[in-house]
Structure 1
Amino acid sequence: MKLHGSCHCGKVSFTVNSVNFYPYQLCYCSICRKTQGGGGFAINLGADAKSLKVKGKKFISVYRAKVSNPDEKTYQSSGERNFCKICGSGLWLYDPDWPELVHPFASVIDTPLPVTPHKTHLMVEFKAPWVKLEKKRGDKIFQRYPKESIQEWHDRVIRHKKN
């Protein structure tokens, strides 16, 4: 599916191809929560990095977060959070450790996305205390990252339903 996305002020727009476009994964880490300004979590999708086409590149800036996990040494993330430097909209995450992927934030996708049959709540260890986790039947909850990738989830849940 070709996804169309844009920032709030319209200075940046992009398209990207994705076979993993169900917005099922809610991340409660402090980085996603604070940079996305959502309901206590952010949702990102999986897409083909080579297909990313961007208009307004001069308005994009990149943020590389410092990661501070309990009982671990603080380090700088290799993940590059691309955002509009005019309005601050988070656009996508790119990580050179996985150069074939780009992860657009569902919040900036203008293409209608399907409703997911269930959600995966991850990084719940870092959830803000004011956020009530809305677990529904079939949802899975993980204190940190699940072992199942975005691709594996789509293969198991979505593609399995079609067969």
Structure 2
Amino acid sequence: MPRLEGSCHCGAVRFAVVSHTPEPYQQCYCSICRKTAGGGGYAINIMGEAETLEVEGEEHIGVYHAHETEAQGDEPSSAGRHFCKHCASCLFIRDSNYPKWVYPFASAIDSALPVPPERTHIMLHYKASWVEVMDTPEDILFGGYPDLSIDEWHRRSGLYRSD
């Protein structure tokens, strides 16, 4: 299984995690991903085993729990978005509903990531009007959440790493 290494922009935080699902195939267009990660979104697309997460510089990490105004009313999300307090780099998400997993932001990964054979665009009902979405035969589009989980997509695609 690949060990993914990542860091923030200023270098105050470094982390590593083991992942069975390292393809950054999923691009999210919700306002939370756009506003916290910048740009068009593309935040939650890799999954790692939480028990393997190693963090250096944990004292420099802040955690943000967004309010789920778009999908579930005005409730704080169970997903904590971890970021560097100094440079504001998005690092990873931990969700109390899924304690076995951690979700690193592909943009924070320093290890070489594989190029996915297709992309899944999610939460398109919430994308900004100025964002253009790729719509090639390899792209799969969803107005909300996708049909397959990160794990299921990797298994279906034959890309799940078990070694």
- TM range, normalised to the smaller chain? over 0.9
C-alpha distance after superposition, 1:92-133 (max 9, x if no partner): 011010000000000010000011110000000110000011
CA RMSD of aligned residues (A): 1.3
5+ residue gaps, structure 2, are none
What is the distance in 2 between the residues matched to 1:75 and 1:109? 30
Kindly indicate whether the alpha-carbon contact (under 8 Å) linking 2:21 and 2:159 is maintained by their aligned counterparts in 1: no
User: Where in structure 2 are the equivalents of 1:107-146 lying within 5 Å?
Assistant: 107-146=107-146
Aligned amino acid, residue 28 of structure 1: Y
Q: CA deviation at 1:69?
A: 1.9
Aligned-pair CA distance for 1:139: 1.4
| 1:45 counterpart residue number | 46
1:21 is matched with: 22
User: What does residue 96 of structure 1 align with?
Assistant: 96
User: Which residue in 2 is equivalent to 1:10?
Assistant: 11
What's the offset of the Cα at 1:145? 0.4
Provide the rounded CA distance (Å) in 1 between the counterparts of 2:84 and 2:70.
Answer: 27
Write the letter of the residue equivalent to 1:148: L
Q: Which runs of 5+ in 1 are unaligned?
A: none
The CA deviation at 1:159 is 3.6
Q: Is residue 5–residue 110 contact of structure 1 (8 Å, CA) maintained in 2?
A: yes
Contact kept? 1:118, 1:136, Cα under 8 Å: no
- 1:32 corresponding residue in structure 2: 33
- Of residues 150-159 and 48-57 in structure 1, the stretch that sits farther from structure 2 once superposed is 150-159
1:3·1:110 contact (CA, 8 Å) conserved in 2? Answer: yes
SS at match of 1:32: helix
Name the CA distance, whole Å, in 1 between partners of 2:18 and 2:47: 9
Q: How many residues align?
A: 158
State TM-score, norm by structure 2: 0.93
